[in-house]
Structure 1
Amino acid sequence: MNLIITIISLLVAVEFLYITYLETFATSSTNTAKTFNLSEDNLQDEKVQTLLKNQGIYNGLIAVGIIYALFFTHDHRNSLLAIMIYIILVALYGSFSSGNKSIFFKQGTLAVIVAILLLLN
């Protein structure tokens, strides 16, 4: 079970690193526009780019937290559970505040699976 938790947790980290890439480094790309349902014109706005880059740093630090919890803590369960609950809550907020329910499933599904596995373990 620990191996499954580690693998799925790493998938969550990779997902958040990809989001970081889109928001921080590929801010005005076509993929970023599609992913966040924004026009490419919106992405050219300097204020929007600043907001996305700021958001990207948060997402990158979530990934770092997951990796740190997995490989640099003695008992990663509590740290991972806290991070996964945070991700689930943020995914719920994003889903409801944007009116786009698919956000929860895209951003929160793997975190829900990890949280359940941690609680059952």
Structure 2
Amino acid sequence: MSLLGTLLVLLVAAEHFYIAYLEMTQIPSEKAAKLFQLPYEFLQQKSVQNMFSNQGLYNGFLAAGLLWAQFAAPDNARFPATMLFLGFVLIAAAWGTFSTGNKSIVLKQGLPAALAALAVWAAA
């Protein structure tokens, strides 16, 4: 795998660890309300906090999967595992954009994953 591909995959992993951190530990906060474009009062509901926490866990799994694919997967599984987890990120970005109507999701989450996938694929 190329250095560029590895760096882009690590960037995607870092982004998803950050999202996991926000969703699992920063709900409710004014920062999260602004970032997720939701009323602070809405984020104060326990059910909403539980939902975000669960969602954050899944984002953490995506990031952990990308790190595993880069550093712990057997050599013959590194490429398919990386592409699998990047594919999951792309699907999540597409669904997030479709389900919320927020086009910035596909740019903020999908574009880095797409660039990483292209770099990984080009080096294969």
Q: TM-score if structure 2 supplies the norm length?
A: 0.93
For the pair 1:82 / 2:84, whether they are aligned, the reply is yes
More divergent stretch after superposition (39-48 vs 74-83): 74-83
Task: Report the Cα distance in structure 1 between the residues aligned to 2:73 and 2:88, rounded to whole angstroms.
Answer: 19
Letter in 2 for 1:10: L
Structure 2 contact 93–109 (Cα < 8 Å) conserved: yes
Identify unmatched segments of 5+ residues in structure 1. Answer: none
d(CA) in 2 for partners of 1:5, 1:27: 33
Report whether the alignment pairs 1:21 with 2:21.
Answer: yes
TM-score, reference length from structure 1: 0.95
1:118 Cα deviation from its structure 2 partner? 2.0
Greater relative contact order (Cα 8 A, min sep 6): structure 1 or 2? 2
Listed one character per residue, the Cα deviations across residues 73-98 of structure 1 (whole Å, up to 9, x for unaligned) are 13311101011111111101110110
Distance in 1 separating the partners of 2:73 and 2:119 = 18
Does structure 1 conserve the Cα–Cα contact (< 8 Å) formed by 2:62 and 2:88?
Answer: no
Is contact 2:6–2:120 with CA below 8 Å preserved after alignment? no
Q: Is the 8 A contact 2:9 2:66 kept in 1?
A: yes
What does 1:1-121 correspond to in 2, within 5 Å?
A: 2-75=2-75, 76-121=78-123
Runs of 4+ in 1 over 4 A off after TM superposition: none
Q: Which moved more, 1:49-58 or 1:34-43?
A: 34-43
Aligned residue-pair number:
121
User: What is the RMSD computed on CA atoms of the aligned residues?
Assistant: 1.1
How much identity, in percent, do the aligned residues show?
A: 39
Contact preservation (8 Å) 1:22, 1:31: no
Q: Say whether the 8 Å CA contact 2:23–2:53 is kept in structure 1.
A: yes
CA distance in 2, matches of 1:29, 1:60: 20
